[in-house]
Amino acid sequence: MGRNKEKISLPLSRRRRTKQNMKKFTAAATLPPPRTIFPMMMGILFFSSSTLALAKPSSRAISDSEISDRKNACYADIDSGLRGERCRSSMIAKENCALKCVSPLCYELIYESDPLEEGERDYRAMEFNYCTQKI
């Protein structure tokens, strides 16, 4: 009884190195080992989920003092000219730019359709702060 050589399956490293086997061997050698694929996949999953997490409400509401700190940082950016001259043209323009800087999404929901105007009392500030805390 003769052996059927086609049914014998040795690992690529033990096979005779013919041209066909060398092609298979080099193709298999270029794939990263599974232990490196898993961390890469986890990294991709983490970064994609972190961008989705930006759109979800945070698990911890930010405090009024944190909102105030953000707003002060935005005022500093406006004063230094980082937000453009339009934001420095008047106090109301500065306030609208600061609100947009603190939370663009909340600004869009609350102020964008009807921005603050000169002499207007800001009755929407509590709603804006609530939105900022929830997003």
Model pLDDT, residue 51? 47
Distance CA(64)–CA(129), nearest Å, equals 7
Model pLDDT, residue 107? 96
pLDDT in tens, 7-21: 555 555 555 556 565
DSSP 76-132: HHHHHTTT-GGGGSSHHHHHHHHHHHH-HHHHHHHTTTS---TT---TTHHHHHHHH
Model pLDDT, residue 52? 43
Query: Phi/psi of residue 77, each to 5°?
Result: -65, -40
Stated pTM of the model: 0.54
| Per-residue pLDDT at 49 exceeds 60 | no
- Coil, helix or strand at residue 31: coil
Distance CA(15)–CA(23), nearest Å, equals 12
pLDDT in tens, 78-135: 999 998 899 999 999 999 999 999 999 999 999 999 999 998 898 999 999 999 988 8
